[in-house]
Structure 1
């Protein structure tokens, strides 16, 4: 049995964003239904040991709000978090690692390109490799994350490359791992080895290719990049000067958007996450929310648990 807890569904900055007065953020300050922390999920095959998919800047808040991730009763020091699997090196995905520096053992699983970025930034040395092992993962090679004592977790993960970009803070700078960009943005197929139940996690994706459609066709559950409703959303709202594509994200709507591109694939449950504060689909009564729900999509609330 596979258990998934949505820790957060928002993009960078969360909702409401601390310095934003856009319509969504204004509404979110008085309506808890709209509020979201930054995107991450936790997954477990035994309901005792959990693996985080990305470590958002809101991780401490998310751990506190999630009973499944609390220390075991009667233990002075304990965490059920056995590992963190990184799908990219954006701040949204890695900053929360710094909130896990208090000595509990866990493993970071990431592509060598992402691990190279962590190694090049000395601030991540607060995660002593005595307790926090860094394990490289490879594209299209299944791995099974292990428990702190080295035993199998019962979870199997298949990383695969998706269209995207490297971390924005490296734009115009040399990448610590060199010029080959393959591996900067990953999707994951996560399965319970015992039951065979599985789901897909894609927090960042710039395009839906034929290969991606083949991979996720018929999946029981897909978490997919929902950063913007329309590609020029931030520009139109006066909140930025980049399109969704320029940031490495596909839009929800439009002829080439995620809703249209992933229609008719027989996916059981389709959930958007990494949703930007500019996205009107976050508003429960908006036309955009109604349109995505009519197309069979959901926007999960923080704390939602799903069992496969």
Structure 2
């Protein structure tokens, strides 16, 4: 099973178009210690030809240009993207659906019922695409049962409901429901190896901890280093927790959760990294601390084989 990181940044990317934080300035000035990143998405394949797109970011066109595996060339109009799986209804994970409208057949979209409702109402991507290629919705179960995707005969997906935040346009924004946000446990049945993908994670509960312990590869929320990161920089009044993200630092942060996992060789990778996060600086003390703990920082183009 192949897993390709298409985008490793949080919403807005790096550099963000209107941001002048230290990291965004560093990228614009060509500082080699900070690399540009597109918005969060991965792709999964068994054969290296047919790919499941997990999240369709606004940067999907740039990501396809940078990933020859996804282009396909079996017909005058073709793509290696077989379908899309959505983990939530946030703009940075769904807006790219509109850029896939030139398909000749309806786009298969796997999403939970709450996410699909948001994409038919508050952010009506589904009805909009009905005027173009159309969409075939495949409901994702959130009761712990797994689901499969056509073309990936030996891959099993299991949704793990997460404690995070629904989009501002969702009716569930102030009253979250199960299925607003999910993580994905992706299992290669041939090798019995698994990946846990959770770019938006507000709290590690028992179900999440069990999924993390079972995974050989973790691609988990790396949005903020500190809970008050945006407040300290004067960029927002909100804390990381208010936005549905578990900060890395602190006694109950993501680093502590990853440190507590059994030591059996699983790769621990932070993904969905906000442009303000100091871990983006390769020569910084925060990156050095992660390295000491065996935690990696995702970048666009990373390729894993499980």
Matched residue, 1:28: 27
The reply on whether 1:83 has 2:87 as its aligned counterpart is no
Matched residue, 1:45: 46
8 A contact 2:165–2:176 mirrored in 1: no
Matched residue, 2:292: 294
8 A contact 1:186–1:202 mirrored in 2: yes
> d(CA) in 2 for partners of 1:17 and 1:85?
25
> d(CA) in 2 for partners of 1:79 and 1:130?
14
Matched residue, 2:138: 135
> What RMSD in Å do the two structures reach over aligned CA positions?
1.9
Matched residue, 2:58: 57
Alignment partner for residue 226 of structure 1, among 195, 200, 222? 222
> d(CA) in 2 for partners of 1:104 and 1:274?
31
> d(CA) in 2 for partners of 1:130 and 1:70?
18
The reply on whether 1:125 has 2:124 as its aligned counterpart is no
1:214/1:65 CA distance change after superposition, 3 Å: same
Matched residue, 2:14: 15
8 A contact 2:268–2:294 mirrored in 1: yes
> d(CA) in 2 for partners of 1:89 and 1:253?
27
The reply on whether 1:195 has 2:194 as its aligned counterpart is no
Matched residue, 1:306: 304
8 A contact 1:66–1:303 mirrored in 2: yes
> d(CA) in 2 for partners of 1:286 and 1:299?
13
1:154/1:200 CA distance change after superposition, 3 Å: same
8 A contact 2:164–2:244 mirrored in 1: yes
**Equivalent residues, number:** 298
Q: CA deviation at 1:131?
A: 4.9
Q: CA deviation at 1:219?
A: 2.0
Alignment partner for residue 146 of structure 1, among 126, 139, 150? 150
Deviations 1:162-186 (A, max 9, x none): 111111233xxx349x966111010
8 A contact 1:218–1:265 mirrored in 2: no
Aligned residue runs from structure 1 range 264-275, under 5 A:
264-266=260-262, 268-275=266-273
Deviations 1:99-148 (A, max 9, x none): 1000244310010000111122444334239653111111112000114x
1:104/1:249 CA distance change after superposition, 3 Å: farther
State TM-score, norm by structure 2.
Answer: 0.92
Aligned residue runs from structure 1 range 63-212, under 5 A:
63-72=64-73, 75-105=75-105, 106-120=107-121, 121-128=123-130, 131-139=134-142, 140-147=144-151, 153-170=153-170, 174-175=171-172, 181-212=177-208
8 A contact 1:69–1:81 mirrored in 2: yes
> d(CA) in 2 for partners of 1:208 and 1:110?
22
8 A contact 2:160–2:208 mirrored in 1: no
Structure 2: gaps spanning 5 or more residues: none
> d(CA) in 2 for partners of 1:301 and 1:80?
21
8 A contact 2:166–2:176 mirrored in 1: no
Structure 1: gaps spanning 5 or more residues: none
8 A contact 2:220–2:271 mirrored in 1: yes
